[in-house]
Each structure stands twice: as C-alpha cells, then as structure tokens.
C-alpha cells in the first residue's frame, strides 16, 4: 500500500526491523471446558467485579473478515464473532473477550491478551483461511484499466518490460472510485488486484508520479508480506532495495508530495 504516510522520512515511526517477539504467557486459569458464554461471564467479572452479570449471547457470524463486535443493550450483552474464529483455542477466545469487554468499558486492553490474539491471527493457517474467506465472500469493485488519460495495462506492461524483464504476471488493474490523495495505490492479494487512485488519471499530472505508484504496487506483487511474530512487515529490506532501482525515484517521491 502506498499512502501519504509513507512519504514521511524513515525512522519517524517505530523501527520496522525490530520484531516484537514474545513468548505466550502462562494461562491465567483452567478454562478449557468453558462455553463462550461462560468465558465472557468470567472475564466480565474480572474486569467489572461489582457489575451484575447481564444476559450474555455469543453468536458466530459469516463475515468476509475476522471482525467481532460487542453491544450492551437493555441488560443484554451481545457478542458477534466472525465464524473464522469458531473453533479457535479457548485462550484465544478468552483474549478476544478481554479485548472486546475492555473496549466496551473503555478500559485499556491488557497487553498479554492483545498480543496473544494478534499472534493467532498472524498464524499462517489463519491468514490462509482469511484470504479464502475474503475471496469467496468479499466483493471487490474493479473499474478496469481504461481511464480518460491513461490505460493501466499499458503502464503496467511498460514497467514490466523496464524492471521485471516482462516476467511479472499481470493482475487485474483498476482505478479507484474516488479521487484519493491519501490512498494512492494498493495491491489486494486476495483478489489479485492493483487499484490506483483516480487522481493520476489526468493528463496534467506528471506520468512519473503514476509510474512510481504503479511500480511500488508491482513490488508488492513481487515481494509478499513478511509475517513473523506479531508484526506484519509490508516493506521489507528486500522490498526497499528493489524499489531503489526505480529511475528518478527521489523526483517521483517529491511529485507525490505536491499532488
Ligand atoms: Zn506499499
């Protein structure tokens, strides 16, 4: 993904090269025989010992993602969990309960549970399941490569010849629905699509800027996201190295600041 944040100088955020490697902590209690409702009741008692227990409902929903939500309405606590988490180990469901209930009561989410939950979602088999669910259940709007000023297939093939020996398989290419300045381009591996902001479909805008954004997204096609531990590293060192080969890179980056 390429957004305006990426135009910030490197090193302004957290160091992307440092992994937050953690050991899963000891389990807090014997919880393997609890139903989801019992887990929520126990976690609620832990977070709000004096609050009387509401009626609790936990439902699994068919979502195209791993989202979950919680609601407290007229004495009934309703939790909706993406069905991709059905059958997740009890400590993961417990972690999610802490996350959702802490959010509901505007308390900080205990770090142990936040990390345990993220580690689980970052597991390879879960990511693969998620990708499949997105493909099957998610819908994606793709405009097609033809714009008013440029054809994205042509831009792609030119860069493919210049930088990849023409070997990169062409994904679906499309223009964003809206003229976005914050999201200049993104690659969606679930649908194998590169979407480019319509802001570039303008003969008055420099072609170099469009080419750089396309090149950046082509590198995402070429270098998959690095998932290790909790972190998701999108722009790996390998990625940055490959990007530095782009001709007039500094000039292109300057252009993006002035769109
Ligand atoms: Zn990117």
Reduced to 3 states (helix: H, G, I; strand: E, B; else coil), residue 258 is: coil
Of 59, 53, 66, the closest CA to residue 36 belongs to: 59
Instruction: List, in sequence order, every beta strand (DSSP E) within the chain.
Output: 2-3, 55-61, 68-73, 76-82, 172-175, 183-188, 193-196, 226-228, 231-233
Reduced to 3 states (helix: H, G, I; strand: E, B; else coil), residue 36 is: helix
Residue position matching structure tokens 């939790």: 79
Rounded Cα distance between 194 and 217, Å, is: 7
CA of 29 to the centre of ligand 1 (A): 41
CA of 126 to the centre of ligand 1 (A): 23
Of 189, 195, 191, 225, the closest CA to residue 210 belongs to: 195
CA of 213 to the centre of ligand 1 (A): 9
CA of 41 to the centre of ligand 1 (A): 42
Rounded Cα distance between 162 and 157, Å, is: 9
pLDDT tens digits in sequence order for the chain, 259 residues long: 555 444 433 333 333 322 222 334 444 444 567 899 999 999 999 999 999 999 999 999 988 889 999 999 999 999 999 999 988 999 999 999 999 999 999 999 999 999 999 999 999 999 988 888 887 787 776 788 999 999 999 999 999 999 999 999 999 999 998 888 888 999 988 888 999 999 999 999 999 999 999 999 999 999 988 777 767 788 889 999 999 999 999 999 999 999 8
pTM above 0.75, yes or no: no
CA of 185 to the centre of ligand 1 (A): 8
* Sheet with 183-188: strands ordered across: 2-3, 183-188, 193-196, 172-175
């Amino acid at each position: 993904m390429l957004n305006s944040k990426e135009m910030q100088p490197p090193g302004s955020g957290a160091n992307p090269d440092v992994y937050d490697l953690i050991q899963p902590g000891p389990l807090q209690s014997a919880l393997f025989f609890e139903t989801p409702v019992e887990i929520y009741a126990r976690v609620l008692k832990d977070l709000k010992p004096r609050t009387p227990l509401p009626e609790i409902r936990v439902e699994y929903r068919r979502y195209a993602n791993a989202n979950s939500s919680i609601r407290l309405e007229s004495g009934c606590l309703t939790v909706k969990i993406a069905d991709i988490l059905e059958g997740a180990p009890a400590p993961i469901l417990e972690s999610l309960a802490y996350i959702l209930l802490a959010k509901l009561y505007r308390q900080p989410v205990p770090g142990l549970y936040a990390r345990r939950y993220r580690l689980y979602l970052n597991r390879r088999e879960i990511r693969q399941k998620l990708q499949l669910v997105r493909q099957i259940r998610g819908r994606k709007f793709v405009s097609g490569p033809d714009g008013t000023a440029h054809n994205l297939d042509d831009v792609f093939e030119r860069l493919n010849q210049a930088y990849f020996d023409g070997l990169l398989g062409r994904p679906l290419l499309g223009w964003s629905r809206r003229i976005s300045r914050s999201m200049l381009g993104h690659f969606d591996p679930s649908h194998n699509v590169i979407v480019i902001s319509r802001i570039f479909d303008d003969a008055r805008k420099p072609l170099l800027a469009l080419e750089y954004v396309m090149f950046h997204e082509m590198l995402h096609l070429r270098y998959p996201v690095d998932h290790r531990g909790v972190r998701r590293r999108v722009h790996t060192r390998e990625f940055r190295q490959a990007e530095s080969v782009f001709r007039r890179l500094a000039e292109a980056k300057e252009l993006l600041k002035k769109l």
